[in-house]
């Protein structure tokens, strides 16, 4: 009674008929989880011609106790313990590189040579030299590619971009970024292994510069244009830690904290601060841009809010400051706001995982004839060059120009 058979109803059928995009996932850690979730969800919230299918996942043999339950939980059809095998498979269209940084270079180049579509986690590489080879390989192969700087797709950050591009803040004078956490303060935290490879320079390439400031740099250049030069200072507060894999106390070679000054090509000045020793700060990724006619402020610990200060009318340049002037807290959940019409009703927020879903929605759209996805590997190479310049400046105690 009253039963409707939905199996032949339009949306399900259309979804089932969508072109399969067979995913080969490399990695089953934090990012493997964020990306697996995003591939699983994207078709539920965005209309796309492709239907991601979780085909195969790679993890190390030593991590089988994590890999197998992970693969089952997310519904991967098969497991590989040799990443090259995933890339060689004919039933995989897209390689998603979520393994630690020191593997990105070889995985991306092999995937490009195999003609696969490529998604790569940030930072693109251990350094710019590696990143250049990766860009050369994907461009030679002509394969679509994206780098997962997911914060561009936080709706509030996308709205900041819209406000800036609409000319509402006018000439920018200052760009201020922080990216602070506190999870490595204890000297007992080991370095290395599945969970803490970010503390091992041989695997991560650098510390907060590549891990956290790469995000801030990508966002900054997106919002405020290219950085021309930097001067930096880094510190390693805990000099030795037990290595989780060898069990031995080993020297720590990553930067625990990094601060740098930047001059942007548009003449504005930037300050960037990042540390994993800011007690109380968990994922304090903030940005503020102060322009002649207005300003924007964002804090990832309050992700659905964009603060906007309106000083002058962008069209007339006339001052509108009066007794009601102040920072506006925009709750970025309206259908008019970036991405939000695909989610819930106004007032209902989205979170961290949605930034990956929004990214994949845009990447799929780009595969289907939509706007070219950014950042691709060529853009991420620029970020890598800024990271290298920051580390070089800290080592040499001088300003370093960013190569064009």
Positions in the binding site for ligand SOE (CB under 6 A): 30, 181, 198, 211, 283
Closer to ligand SOE at the Cβ: 285 or 393?
285
Residue in the block written with tokens 């190479």? 381
Closer to ligand SOE at the Cβ: 198 or 337?
198
**Could you tell me if 218 and 148 are in contact, meaning their C-beta atoms sit under 8 angstroms apart?**
no
Closer to ligand SOE at the Cβ: 178 or 181?
181
Closer to ligand SOE at the Cβ: 181 or 333?
181
CB of 319: closest distance to ligand SOE in angstroms?
Answer: 39
What is the 8-class DSSP label of residue 127?
Answer: S
Closer to ligand SOE at the Cβ: 145 or 274?
274
CB of 218: closest distance to ligand SOE in angstroms?
Answer: 11
Q: How many residues does the chain have?
A: 404
Closer to ligand SOE at the Cβ: 21 or 386?
386
Closer to ligand SOE at the Cβ: 215 or 310?
215
Q: Which residues contact 116 (CB under 8 A, 6 or more apart)?
A: 24, 87, 92, 93, 94, 95, 143
Closer to ligand SOE at the Cβ: 198 or 281?
198
Q: How far is CA 97 from CA 39, 64, 122, in A?
A: 13, 18, 9
CB of 208: closest distance to ligand SOE in angstroms?
Answer: 9
- Adjacent-strand bridge partners of 320: none
Question: In angstroms, rounded to a whole number, what is the distance separating the alpha carbons of residues 261 and 219?
Answer: 16
CB of 209: closest distance to ligand SOE in angstroms?
Answer: 12
Neighbours of 401 (CB within 10 A): 12
Closer to ligand SOE at the Cβ: 184 or 231?
184
Backbone φ and ψ of 154, nearest 5°: -70, 125
Question: In angstroms, rounded to a whole number, what is the distance separating the alpha carbons of residues 365 and 373?
Answer: 8
Question: In angstroms, rounded to a whole number, what is the distance separating the alpha carbons of residues 157 and 308?
Answer: 12
CB of 314: closest distance to ligand SOE in angstroms?
Answer: 32
Closer to ligand SOE at the Cβ: 184 or 268?
184
> Tokens standing for 254?
């990553």
CB of 154: closest distance to ligand SOE in angstroms?
Answer: 11
CB of 86: closest distance to ligand SOE in angstroms?
Answer: 22
> Tokens standing for 104?
């990105």
CB of 102: closest distance to ligand SOE in angstroms?
Answer: 14
CB of 21: closest distance to ligand SOE in angstroms?
Answer: 24
Q: What per-residue string of b and e applies to 149-173 under the rule 16 or more CB within 10 Å gives b?
A: bbbbbbbbbbbbbebbeeebbbebe
Give the Cα-Cα-Cα angle 205, 210, 211 (nearest 5 degrees): 110
**Could you tell me if 208 and 275 are in contact, meaning their C-beta atoms sit under 8 angstroms apart?**
yes
What is the Cα Rg of the chain in Å? 22
Question: In angstroms, rounded to a whole number, what is the distance separating the alpha carbons of residues 162 and 29?
Answer: 33
Which residue of the chain is nearest ligand SOE when measured via CB? 211
CB of 155: closest distance to ligand SOE in angstroms?
Answer: 16
Q: How far is CA 5 from CA 2, 44, 119, in A?
A: 10, 20, 38
Q: Which residues contact 262 (CB under 8 A, 6 or more apart)?
A: 175, 220, 227, 228, 229, 230, 269, 270, 271, 272
């Amino acid at each position: 009674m009253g039963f409707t058979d939905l199996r032949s109803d339009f949306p399900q059928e259309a979804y089932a008929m969508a072109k399969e995009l067979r995913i080969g996932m490399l990695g089953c850690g934090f990012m493997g989880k964020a990306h697996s979730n995003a591939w699983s969800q994207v078709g539920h919230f965005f209309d796309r011609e492709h239907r991601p299918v979780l085909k195969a996942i790679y993890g190390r043999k030593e991590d089988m106790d994590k890999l197998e339950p992970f693969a089952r939980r997310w519904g991967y059809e098969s497991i590989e313990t040799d990443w090259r095998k995933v890339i060689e498979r004919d039933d995989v269209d897209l390689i998603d590189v979520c393994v630690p940084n020191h593997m990105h270079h070889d995985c991306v180049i092999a995937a490009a040579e195999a003609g696969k579509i490529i998604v790569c986690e940030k930072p693109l590489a251990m350094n710019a030299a590696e990143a250049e080879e990766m860009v050369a390989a994907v461009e030679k192969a002509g394969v679509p590619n994206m780098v997962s700087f997911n914060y561009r797709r936080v709706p509030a950050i996308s709205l900041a971009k819209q406000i800036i591009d609409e000319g509402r803040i006018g000439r920018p004078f200052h760009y201020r970024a922080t990216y602070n956490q506190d999870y490595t303060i204890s000297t007992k935290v080991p370095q290395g292994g599945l969970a803490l490879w970010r503390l091992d320079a041989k695997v991560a390439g650098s510390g907060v510069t590549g891990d956290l400031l790469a995000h801030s740099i990508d966002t900054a250049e997106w919002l405020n244009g290219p950085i021309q030069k930097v001067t930096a200072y880094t510190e390693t507060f805990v000099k030795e830690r037990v290595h989780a894999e060898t069990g031995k106390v080993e020297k720590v070679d990553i930067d625990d904290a990094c601060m740098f000054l930047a001059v942007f090509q548009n003449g504005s000045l930037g300050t960037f601060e990042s540390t994993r020793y800011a007690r109380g700060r968990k994922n304090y990724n903030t940005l503020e841009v102060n322009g002649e006619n207005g300003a924007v402020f964002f804090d990832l610990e309050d992700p659905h809010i964009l603060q906007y200060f309106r000083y002058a009318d962008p069209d007339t340049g006339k001052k509108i400051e009066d007794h009601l002037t102040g920072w506006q807290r925009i709750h970025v959940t309206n259908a008019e706001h970036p991405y939000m019409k695909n989610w819930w009703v106004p007032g209902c927020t989205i979170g961290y995982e949605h930034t990956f879903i929004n990214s994949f929605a845009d990447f799929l759209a780009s595969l289907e004839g939509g706007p070219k996805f950014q950042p691709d590997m060529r853009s991420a190479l620029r970020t890598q060059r800024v990271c290298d310049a920051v580390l070089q400046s800290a080592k040499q105690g001088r300003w370093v120009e960013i190569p064009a």
